[in-house]
Amino acid sequence: MKQLSLDNLRTFVTVIEQGGYAKAGEWLGRSQPAVSLQIKKLETQLGRKLFSKVGQRHTPSADGNWLYAKARELLALNDDIFRALNPAPLSGRLRLGIPSEFASTLLPGLIGEFSKRYPDVSLEVTSALSRDLLHHTRRDSFDLILALANPQEQTDGEVLLQDDMVWAGDITRRIGGDTISLVLAPDGCVYRSRVIEQLKRQTKAWKITYTNADLSGLVAAIGQGLGITALARSSMPDNLMVLKHPNLPQLGRINICLFNLDTQHPVVSKTLADFIKSRLTTGATAS
């Protein structure tokens, strides 16, 4: 009974997915001649040519494309068996994109707990506006993105929580004066757009006194009496309070979404995604 080498099949699949022998060798930690030898052994065993060389590129033949789908099924079954019977500790690099307000309130506790459980996972975090994180030129740079979206927007992310948007201010100050002073993130921020949209519908005067993309900068400005801001209730820092005042319109709700993108470490990515979901939903229930 003939038996296929799973090692040769994995190399074959990697050649197709990485786009060539050299890149497959880099990915697998093998020399290009070693990769070429494995493919030749597989072709000899099957009696079929699996690749055609066009210039410097190796493109799969019709038989190669057919085998690719079958090989992926075999490798997935092999990996599932080992994961079930001999689970390995999580490891790898995970790239997380997150709005700054959640970086300030959600990440500190989450990172500590996650790192204790999975010390071999390297977490690379980038904070930016949701719009910038999800931009088509950047989203491929992340494995997971936590982002805000208006409830009416169509999104390919998973809605973790539909949260209240609230006015936020310094716990030691009260709203006064004839004009509402605002400290907000730059253009493109979901909060900023919603605040301006709602304020334009009423007659109370308002002005933007300070702009900063980082929550810590906004909190500092609020502490100096420059104005108030708006946030999702679940992202409120402890040193701010929810404000209610006749001159402040209702801001409605906001969706907090998680985008689990294609990744080289799907198990690690899913584990962190579950951590984030748990943290957000637990915090929302507590508040």
3-state secondary structure string across 184-202? ECCCCCHHHHHHHHHHCCC
The C-alpha atoms of residue 99 and residue 280 are separated, in whole angstroms, by 14
Q: Quick count: other Cβ atoms within 10 Å of Cβ 276?
A: 21
Among candidate residues 273, 271, 259, the one with its CA nearest the CA of residue 88? 271
Q: Which residues contact 116 (CB under 8 A, 6 or more apart)?
A: none
What are residue 170's DSSP bridge partners? 240
Give the dihedral sign, CA 106/109/113/115: positive
The C-alpha atoms of residue 190 and residue 149 are separated, in whole angstroms, by 7
User: What's the pLDDT band for 230 if we cut at 50, 70, 90?
Assistant: very high
Predicted local confidence at residue 82, as pLDDT: 76
User: What's the pLDDT band for 285 if we cut at 50, 70, 90?
Assistant: very low
Q: Where are the domains of the chain?
A: 6-85, 90-287
Question: Residue 283: is its pLDDT beyond 60?
Answer: no
Among candidate residues 137, 140, 146, 158, the one with its CA nearest the CA of residue 97? 146
**Cα-to-chain-centroid distance, residue 80:** 25
CATH number for the domain formed by residue range(s) 6-85? 1.10.10.10
The C-alpha atoms of residue 161 and residue 286 are separated, in whole angstroms, by 14
Q: What is the mean pLDDT of the chain?
A: 86
Longest CA span, the chain? 88
Q: For domain 90-287, give the fold.
A: D-Maltodextrin-Binding Protein; domain 2 (3.40.190)
Render pLDDT for 122-167 as a digit per residue (tens, 0 to 9): 888 899 899 999 988 888 889 899 999 999 888 888 898 899 999 9
Among candidate residues 281, 279, 233, 270, the one with its CA nearest the CA of residue 111? 279
User: What's the pLDDT band for 191 if we cut at 50, 70, 90?
Assistant: very high
User: What's the pLDDT band for 262 if we cut at 50, 70, 90?
Assistant: low
Question: Residue 171: is its pLDDT beyond 90?
Answer: no
| H or E element that contains 259 | strand 253-260
